[in-house]
Amino acid sequence: MKKGSIKFILLILFITGVFVAARFSGLGEYLTEDFLKSWIAGFGIMGPLVYILIYLAAPSFMVPGLALTVIGGILFGPVWGTVYVITGATAGATVAFLVSRYMGREWVEARLTSARSERIRELDQRVQKDGWKIVAFTRLIPLFPFNLLNYAFGLTKVKTSHFIIASFIFMLPGTIAYVVFSSSFLGLLGGKVSKEFIIGVLLVLAVSLIPLLYRKFRSGH
């Protein structure tokens, strides 16, 4: 099964699980747009900052980015959710990258190469040949899970500035898709199918098809 499809299935399972839990536990009455926005507003200007700081630290502790992305879409909506998620994800990726490169190389190498030594070497060779293009490629079509990929690039010779810029730009399509989709979750709890939900589903499916389209394009050449 393709990685994009697996990610989409995990997202559906996550949202379904929360939906069922909310319905049967009585939490549904609190999972409303007005309640959550009021809760976030209670933090004032610190609300988005706290969220970004959590996302910044997440990759270093191997916390799955998908759940944080979904939460960002729910709390902040499709527009600001995208802004905060891409900011947090890029910052978190950069922190993990810098830790790998400058502070914990031996620990990272031991963690990554134990089961992925061949792919690490392949990644390093491709970076030496194509540089930032490999960062862009793996953000669209991940060779590793998001957290491991950040550490893996820290072991290569890619420039830090290239890593940050390429990560930001090429993580945007997936970020927009998942944030728009998850921003409609509260409406679903109330039985409302919004335009954001339909658009989000289409965007997530489109992003999930990128690996398949790439393989078909590659096999045709």
Q: Could you list the beta-strand ranges (E) of the chain.
A: none
Q: Tell me, what's the pLDDT at 91?
A: 93
Question: Which token pair is 98?
Answer: 């810098």
Q: Tell me, what's the pLDDT at 176?
A: 93
User: What letter would DSSP give residue 99?
Assistant: I
Virtual torsion, Cα 122, 128, 129, 130, nearest 10 deg:
100
pLDDT by residue (tens digit) across 6-58? 554 555 555 555 544 544 444 444 445 555 566 666 677 788 888 888 888 87
User: What letter would DSSP give residue 156?
Assistant: S
pLDDT by residue (tens digit) across 73-122? 888 889 999 999 999 999 999 988 998 888 766 666 666 655 456 666 77
Residue with structure tokens 């489109």? 206
Mapping DSSP to helix (H, G, I), strand (E, B) and coil, where does residue 80 land? helix
If we measure between CA atoms, which residue out of 55, 92, 64 comes closest to residue 167?
92
Distance CA(189)–CA(54), nearest Å, equals: 26
> Is pTM beyond 0.95 here?
no
At 144, the amino acid letter reads F
Lowest mean pLDDT of 57-61, 187-191, 196-200, name the range.
187-191
Burial of 149 (0-12, 13-18, 19+ CB in 10 A): buried
Residues 6+ apart with CB under 8 A from 28: 22, 189
pLDDT interval class at 218 (50, 70, 90):
low
